[in-house]
Chain A
Amino acid sequence: MKKENLKNMNDIGAAEALKKHFPSAVESAELVNHEAVVYVRKDDIKKVLAYLKEKVGFEYLFSITGVDYPDRTPRFDIVYHLKTLEHPLQLTIKVKVEEGTDVDSVYDIFKSANWCEREAYDMVGVPFKGHPNMTRLFMWEGFEGYPLRKDFPLYTEDK
């Protein structure tokens, strides 16, 4: 997978090339609706993102999200959205995380991960290891629970 080849690629092509380069780290690469979704093993996420940024040119990380699937083990998905500025290519990279474990922070690779990781921690409660300031972003200090988990109630009874 090289920078020069990106010109003739589409999203899924880039995802498959990534799988070819990291056969063990990348669990699957498939097209869901219109998005190229790549599942990466949790321990390798930093390695894969650093490679994508430095060697391939996916230099623009703009969103990190947590998604809760209460019936599944591992329970959470952390979703990274990456794109190149030169070509219209975009990758959705996902990591499966079990409740109570943490993910490596990518703050030292992408500065934009600063708030995005804090928001993901705030909303679904997956901590990021190595982030310099792993505190809540939107909710106040001492807030209990994680609002975007599915078991967090939408309404409370204190009316």
Chain B
Amino acid sequence: MPRKMTINMGPQHPSTHGVLRVILELEGENVVGSDMEVGLLHRGIEKLAESMTYQQIVTLTDRLDYVTSMTNNITYVMAVEKLLGIEIPPRGEYIRTLIAEMQRVVNHMMFVGIYAMDLGAITPVFQTFRDREIILDLFEMISGARLTYSFFRVGGMREEIPQEFFDKTKDFNDKLLGMIAEYETLLTRNRIFRARNIGVGVVSKEYAINCGLTGPVLRASGVPYDLRKAKPYLMYDKMDFEIAVGDNGDCYDRYLVRIKELKESQKIIAQCLEQMPSGASNCEDYKKYKIPKPFKVPAGEVYFSTECPKGELGFYIISDGTKSPYRIKINSPSYINTAALSGMIEGALIADVVATIASLDIVLGELDK
């Protein structure tokens, strides 16, 4: 009978993606039990939001998942717009769709690089970060920042987008498939990568649904659920794309789902650029919602969610008719995926715990709120 040992992984561990503390109970090298401690990055965003006006909260959403600030901005402003009943002209919706997909490309590139790095492969991270830089430069061109964009505003966006942005995006998009092929050459068929991945961290379909898993993790388990298809928002009902679905629900499938999504995003970006209409991109009475005048939102409540790169990000906003929300609840994908981690790593080897955490693609800023 081997002696049981309890060890700490994190909060200062490079592969916990921030400050997640996993307490592992080990029997030899096998994990027999685990517990997690979160909240080390808790900044009280929900409480802060109650004291801010609706326009100011956009800056808080940047700091949820700091890898995908644009989609956070879009989700939040669309939740408020739904509460206000604002319609955005087609050009505005196309621009949001385009930027959301570019953000998905950034996130999945980052995932591929960091994931390979966590498993011990150094090369892919250079390739992915080199390519990710191109989109970050494009985003800097329109918003003025590289990570915390605060670009979208209720009713529209901060500034008009120059034509140069679309031209450069097209150049980038034409090369994107070649870039993805490079990552695949380095990883997909590689025998070491496969040995570390196939059959590791398996999530069954039932467990995935019961735990409320979301995003690529849910789809890798064989559930074809994607909000872009299930409840189309923005211009996704006019786009031609497929949902990536895995079969086994192991780490390798989660990687393949994201590679497939990269390719699908490439298709959507091309369609957006092609169909981009001209005209106004902000709503009709955008002046009413513009800074510096705070606006009032009618009393009521709304839950709005979009398919962010990491999964379903939802904002539940209760308004009492004043300039700041009565209560905001942020339903973030990293939070709900991490909650299910204990069941995934039960019985696994300690090295597989690293692979499983990395394959969930979590960001602690979003988990701890």
Contacts and interface: CB of A to CB of B under 8 A. Distances in A.
Q: Do A and B touch (CB < 8 Å)? A: yes
Interface of A: 32-35, 37, 59-63, 65, 67-68, 79, 81, 85, 88, 90, 92, 110-112, 114-116, 123, 136-140, 147-148, 152, 154
The 7 closest A-B pairs by CB, nearest first: A112-B212, A138-B39, A115-B339, A33-B300, A138-B42, A65-B329, A63-B331
Contact of B316 (A65, A68, A147, A154): A65
Contact of A62 (B83, B212, B223, B231): B212
Nearest to B230: A88
A73 to B, nearest CB: 18
Interface string B40-60: 001010111011000000000
B346 interface: no
B39 A63 contact: no
B38 A32 contact: no
B199 interface: no
Interface residues of B, number: 40
19 contacts: A33-B302, A35-B301, A62-B212, A63-B314, A63-B329, A63-B331, A65-B329, A88-B230, A90-B303, A111-B210, A111-B211, A111-B212, A111-B340, A112-B210, A112-B340, A115-B339, A138-B38, A140-B39, A154-B48
Interface string B189-233: 000000000000000000101111010000000010100001100
A79 B316 contact: yes
Interface of B: 38-39, 42, 44, 46-48, 50-51, 82-83, 207, 209-212, 214, 223, 225, 230-231, 300-303, 312, 314, 316, 318, 326-327, 329, 331, 335-336, 339-340, 343, 368-369
A37 B312 contact: no
A33 B316 CA distance: 12
Nearest to B300: A33
Nearest to A149: B47
Given A32-B301, A63-B331, A81-B316, A139 B230 contact: no
